């Protein structure tokens, strides 16, 4: 008879089998919605549009959104996205530059690597079984699934951090053995990942890895073990990877890139909350319960184990990885949920270590309430998704409801198995619930929400015009997704400006929000124009929650 225990034993005998299963699981969790979700304002289309402009101009040094310099992040993610889209074009995929799912593939790969590398780090710290449990729980995390579907930096950054931690963990765990050497694959992996991370998001990964190493050195009262990372050779590798672009962008911008990226963007976030993202300390801890589902309950119930075993090498490594940088993120005024994502694998491994030691808290009412978060969040998501679909579009997502119901059953089973001390079974049931949630949300529900898909519907309306538009303008609606879905030279203006824009050429289309429609029509009349109303697009802008009513006008 095949049992879960025998399946784990079969997986433990082969890293390849374990990695293959984790890869398939990651695809099941991350693929739903990858192709069907429209560009998610505002960061994702900014990244994708800047990449598309690189392909249009063949300038792979400077980063621009329309004519605006985008000097906030380094160039790494744009190069990755450009490589994917260029390869798709060469493979004959029609309209590749306008397909947002192609720009998401680096993030998808980054999220898959987070899962596989969590397993690799776990193997260096504990048993294969614990490593596998940590990896499947990390794969199921809601926040990782979100970032896997967004064409921006955070999934890739997280993968580079976990790759670095794999090398650091092996050096840490063998520091008492004078004959131990860090294998070349891990040495190269550590420093190449560090170089990639700098090209993707500047100093974030070096800060996380450096603070972890510093904490371990203080705890060990020695830093000699870090010599096994061969830092001089490693820093040379990073310099060779990063310096060419840094020199090129310095020459290209006269040094203004670093003034804006470091002086305005990074230091600005440290000094004050930017872009309405300020929040008090403790925000990440509160958000953790939702963003880290279904991992969060496991971590909370592993806290007593973590405290008791805080001086054991594997637990100390996980705590040094997660806690110091978490405190830094809590102290910085600007807060976004994805900032702490690179710390989640450490918590997944900690929970798996507790489960392997059969030291997870199970007795009393508190554990029952904490594990109750497993089904509670599924129910809450199902209710919210259904209510949103009914309220915004007047449709009931029956397939989504069915999947959320099945996910709730799986989550209840996970809750029950946990308190029978079947920790492996409980983890697998929780992950099954996460797979069902992914399909229920991204595949069966979100595509029905037409009311919030403003930019795709405006792009459709322009394509349905009586003639092929020679130019586009928008008034009162300036989301980056509209630029990506239409054209780089989309004119962003006001009512009178749109009237003047239509007058400059034949078959031009203007998107005019109702609040500025009167000014637009008055200016058009004064100019002797009679723009034709083709259609209206109504809905809700998720950024700010404002109701929109946009007229699509053809002129002159």
Asked if residue 19 is part of any domain, the answer here is yes
Judgement on whether residues 294 and 344 belong to the same structural domain of the protein:
yes
pLDDT band at 340 (very low <50, low <70, confident <90, very high): very high
Looking at residues 7-16, what average pLDDT do you find? Answer: 78
- pLDDT at position 266 is 60
Q: Out of 450, 470, 488, pick the residue that ends a domain.
A: 450
Residue 445 has what pLDDT? 95
Higher pLDDT, 270 or 480: 480
Per-residue confidence (pLDDT) for residue 1, from 0 to 100: 44
Domain end marker among 333, 356, 379: 356
Q: How far apart are the C-alpha atoms of 151 and 153, rounded to whole Å?
A: 7
Alpha carbon distance 195, 160 (integer Å): 9
Give the Cα separation of 418 and 374 in Å (integer): 11
Average pLDDT of the residues in 112-141: 96
At 403-435, the pLDDT tens digits run 999 999 999 999 999 999 899 999 999 999 999
Q: What is the pLDDT of residue 269?
A: 58
Average pLDDT (10-22) is 87
Greater pLDDT, 538 or 269: 538
**Average pLDDT of the chain to the nearest whole number:** 93
Looking at 356, 388, 422, the residue that finishes a domain is 356
Which letter, b or e, does each residue of 160-170 get, where b requires 16 or more Cβ atoms within 10 Å of its Cβ? bbbbbbbbbbb
CB proximity list for 183: less than 8 A, separation 6 or greater: 170
pLDDT of residue 278 exceeding 90: no
**Is 72 part of any domain?**
no
List the Cα angle 538/53/159 in 5-degree steps: 90
Residue 413 domain-assigned?
Answer: yes
Residue 272 has pLDDT above 60, yes or no: no
Query: Same domain for 384 and 352?
Result: no
Residues 532 and 436 in one domain: no
Residue 88 in domain: no
Residues 191 and 306 occupy one common structural domain: yes
Residue 255: the pLDDT is 79
Same-domain check for residues 158 and 246: yes
Q: Structurally, how many domains does the chain consist of?
A: 3
Predicted confidence (pLDDT) at residue 537 exceeds the cutoff of 80? yes
Range of the domain at 244: 4-55+58-62+105-261+279-356
What are the tens digits of pLDDT across the range 174-231?
A: 999 888 889 999 999 999 999 999 999 999 999 999 999 999 999 999 999 999 999 9
Considering the domain architecture, whether residues 373 and 470 belong to the same structural domain is answered as no
| Residues making up the chain, counted from first to last | 556
Residue 14 Cα distances to 17, 91, 121, 388, angstroms: 5, 35, 16, 45
For the record, the structure tokens of 140 come out as 């199921």
Question: Would 274 be classed as within a structural domain?
Answer: no
Instruction: For residue 459, tell me if it sits in a domain.
Output: yes
Instruction: Note whether residue 70 is domain-resident.
Output: no
Rounded mean pLDDT, 485-493: 96
Strands (E), 175-310: none
d(CA 53, CA 416) in angstroms, rounded, equals 52
Let me know whether 317 and 425 are in one domain: no
Pair (444, 459) in one structural domain? no
Spatial separation of the C-alpha atoms in residues 265 and 267, rounded to whole Å: 6
Percentage above 90 pLDDT, the chain: 86
Continuous H helices in 141-227: 142-148, 154-173, 184-201, 204-220
First to last CA, the chain: 76
**Does residue 251 sit in the same domain as residue 334?**
yes
- pTM for this structure? 0.95
Token output for 241? 């990877």
Q: How far apart (Å, rounded) are the C-alpha atoms in residues 108 and 28?
A: 12
Q: Are residues 247 and 316 in the same domain?
A: yes
Supply the pLDDT for residue 556: 76
One domain for residues 148 and 17: yes
Quick check: is 92 in a domain? Answer: no
Indicate the pLDDT class of residue 260, thresholds 50, 70 and 90.
confident
Are 461 and 446 found together in one domain?
no
Query: 358 in helix, strand or coil?
Result: coil
Which pLDDT does position 265 carry in this prediction? 60
CA distance 111 to 32: 14
Q: Contact 517/434 with Cβ under 8 angstroms?
A: no
């Amino acid at each position: 008879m095949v049992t879960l225990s025998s399946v784990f034993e079969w997986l433990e005998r082969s890293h390849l089998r374990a990695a293959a299963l984790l890869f398939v699981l990651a695809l099941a969790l991350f693929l739903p919605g990858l192709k069907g979700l429209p560009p998610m304002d505002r960061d994702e289309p900014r990244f994708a549009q800047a990449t598309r402009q690189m392909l249009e101009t063949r300038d792979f040094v400077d980063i621009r959104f329309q004519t605006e310099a985008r000097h906030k992040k380094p160039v790494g993610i744009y190069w990755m996205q450009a490589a994917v889209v260029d390869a798709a074009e060469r493979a004959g995929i029609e309209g590749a530059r306008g397909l947002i799912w192609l720009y998401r593939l680096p993030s998808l790969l980054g999220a898959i690597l987070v899962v596989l590398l969590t397993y690799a780090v776990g193997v260096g710290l504990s048993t294969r079984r614990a490593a596998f449990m940590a990896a499947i729980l990390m794969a199921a995390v809601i926040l990782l699934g979100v970032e896997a579907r967004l064409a921006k930096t955070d999934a890739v950054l997280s993968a580079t951090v976990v790759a670095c931690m794999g090398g650091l963990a092996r050096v840490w765990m063998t520091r008492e053995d004078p004959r131990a050497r860090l294998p070349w694959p891990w040495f190269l992996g550590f420093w190449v990942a560090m170089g990639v991370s700098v090209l993707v998001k500047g100093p974030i990964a070096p800060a996380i890895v450096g603070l972890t190493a510093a904490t371990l050195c203080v705890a060990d009262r020695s830093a000699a073990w870090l010599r096994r990372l061969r830092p001089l050779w490693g820093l040379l590798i990073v310099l060779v990877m990063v310096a060419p672009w840094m020199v090129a962008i310095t020459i290209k911008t006269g040094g203004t890139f670093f003034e804006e990226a470091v002086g305005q963007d990074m230091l600005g976030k440290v000094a004050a909350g930017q872009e309405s993202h300020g929040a008090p300390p403790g925000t990440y801890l509160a958000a953790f319960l939702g963003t880290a589902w279904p991992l969060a309950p496991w971590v909370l119930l592993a806290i007593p184990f973590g405290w008791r075993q805080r001086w054991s090498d594997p637990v100390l490594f996980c705590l040094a990885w997660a806690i110091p940088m978490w405190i830094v993120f809590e102290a910085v005024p600007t807060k976004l949920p994805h900032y702490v994502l690179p710390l989640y694998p450490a918590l997944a491994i900690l929970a798996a270590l507790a489960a392997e030691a059969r030291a997870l808290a199970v007795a009393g009412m508190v554990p029952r309430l904490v594990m109750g978060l497993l089904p509670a969040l599924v129910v809450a998501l199902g209710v919210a998704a259904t209510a949103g679909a009914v309220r915004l579009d007047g449709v009931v997502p029956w397939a989504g409801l069915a999947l959320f119901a099945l996910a709730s059953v799986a989550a209840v089973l996970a809750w029950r198995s946990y308190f029978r001390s079947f920790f492996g079974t409980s983890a697998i049931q929780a992950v099954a619930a996460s797979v069902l949630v992914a399909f229920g949300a991204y595949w069966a529900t979100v595509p029905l929400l037409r009311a919030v898909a403003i930019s795709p519907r405006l792009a459709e309306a322009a394509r349905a015009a009586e003639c092929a538009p020679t130019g586009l303008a928008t008034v009162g609606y300036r989301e980056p997704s509209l630029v990506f879905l239409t054209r780089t030279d989309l004119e962003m203006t006001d009512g009178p400006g749109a009237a003047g824009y239509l007058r400059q050429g034949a078959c031009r289309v203007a998107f005019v929000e109702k609040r500025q429609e009167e000014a637009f029509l008055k200016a058009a009349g004064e100019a002797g124009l009679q723009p034709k109303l083709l259609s209206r697009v109504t809905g809700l802008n998720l950024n700010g929650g404002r109701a929109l009513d946009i007229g699509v006008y053809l002129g002159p």
